[in-house]
Amino acid sequence: MKLVLIFKKQWFVYLTVLCLALAAAVPFGARAQAAENPQTSVSNIGEEADASKNQTSKSEQVSAPYEGTGKTSKSLFGGQTELEKNIQTLQPSSIIGTDERTRISSTTSFPYRATVQLSIKYPNTSSTYGCTGFLVNPNTVVTAGHCVYSQDHGWASTITAAPGRNDSSYPYGTYAGTMFYSVKGWTENKNTNYDYGAIKLNGSPGNTVGWYGYRTTNSSSPAGLSSSVTGFPCDKTFGTMWSDTKPIRSAETYKLTYTTDTYGCQSGSPVYRNYSDTGQTAIAIHTNGGSSYNLGTRVTNDVFNNIQYWANQ
**Residue 109: which residues within 8 A CB-CB, separation 6 or more?**
none
Catalytic residue among 41, 43, 146, 269: 146
Nearest to 308 by CA among 178, 186, 198: 198
Nearest to 282 by CA among 250, 256, 260: 256
Is 267 a catalytic site residue?
A: yes
Phi-psi region of 29 (alpha: psi -120 to 50; beta: other; left: phi over 0): left
**Residue 220: which residues within 8 A CB-CB, separation 6 or more?**
none
φ, ψ dihedrals at 24, nearest 5°: -75, -10
Environment class of 304 (CB within 10 Å of its CB; exposed 0-12, middle 13-18, buried 19+): buried
Catalytic residue among 43, 227, 267, 269: 267
Q: With the C-alpha atoms ordered 187, 189, 191, 194, is the resulting torsion angle positive or negative?
A: negative
Which secondary-structure segment (H or E) carries 155? strand 154-155
Q: Give the Cα separation of 176 and 127 in Å (integer).
A: 18
163: cis peptide before it, omega within 30°?
Answer: no
The SS3 call for residue 46 is coil
Q: Which residues are catalytic?
A: 146, 267
